[in-house]
Structure 1
Amino acid sequence: MGLFTELKTSISRVTDRLFTDEEPKRIGIYGPPNAGKTTLANRIARDWTGDAIGAESHIPHETRRARRKEDVQIEREGKSVTIDIVDTPGVTTKVDYEEFTDEMEEDDAIRRSREATEGVAEAMHWLREDVDGVIYVLDSAEDPITQVNTMLIGIIESRDLPVLIFANKIDLEDSSVKRIEDAFPQHKTVPLSAKEGENMDEVYEKIAEYFG
């Protein structure tokens, strides 16, 4: 894309925003630790704004505070939506400092676990009070029927929030999208690999359709 075309596109997006009264919708990215939430948030942000949201890591609870990327305009199949992406910490029922001792000293592990616990509380606050819709990310190589997933999906349904379930990591050998579809048949499940960028066209199409 040439410089002139990029400039024209940017001006067009700003103009569109100036002449609309709609506020961006806050879309929370939720799910258990290490499901690939930040990887997905970064891919969406880079694809549509050129900037990432936060650091990615194989260590659980790398995201310990909710991070927000504003004014992400997604366009697909004649539909468009402007959203604020809220990348939330992974939700779990218990954070044990021993999860981190292979990667860091004990004092650092204890501090990390405390921060992660606070992050879970913050994620729950956002879900109960401050999001307009949810992208729920699951590792498709893991069993989706857990206490945390059942609880969070129940809270989302009780708030009557629009929700898309993303079956992430389809590039893994043990991936099973059907297992997730069978676990939550009442919601649309979209397969993808956020890391490899597989099936992102459908991801963006469904985001524009569900949250637009």
Structure 2
Amino acid sequence: SFDPPPILVSPQLQEHMARKGTAMPMPSMTLEVTVVSGEAVRVPSGRPLCHGAYAVVRTATSSAPTRVDGDADCHGFPYWAEAVRVALPAGAPALDVEICCARGGGRPAEPVAAARVPVEDFTVGPPGHLHCLSYRLFDSGSCGIRRRNGIVNITVRRLDGAPVGAAGKAAAVPAAGKAVGAAGPSGSGASCSGAAAGLGKPAAPAGAVMGYPLGC
């Protein structure tokens, strides 16, 4: 399991950083990321992503894939609603969510699109808060041209101190799936917060957030 020591900052240093306007370093944390769905995702040839779609959540120290969407004709709108668990190291500015296409015949999977999720989008409020987020995807190709390629809908919940399994699968996948099952596309905060409240869980403190990858 990934359990690095916490960052210890003296009160004097905290006061100095506050006076200088310097942000406090973000400690390490365990995250439960539920990749809900994708919207209007296309493969490099320009056709809609129609089969073999799965997502991978990546940090600097760990990564975890979802299952492959069983719908052979999702037509660019894959659906997973699957929770995975990853470790985010101290000081990391973001995590990445990548959409891939599994291919048969022993060929490697094909990266399709990716989005960067800034840490500040899911660190508002205490651990356990459910943050419903949607991000613009950009092509993962090696051509060097960053083109928009659909949207990915996710939820993020901090599980500080919880272990990360070898496969990155969260222990409470069914509950997480229920929590996001009613989440609407493209950052519809009301439905996601309502689903969380229905399960007795706290809603995201700032509602749903539409984010964009850093540096776009």
User: TM-score, normalised on structure 1?
Assistant: 0.28
User: Quick check: which one's strand share is greater?
Assistant: 2
User: TM-score, normalised on structure 2?
Assistant: 0.28
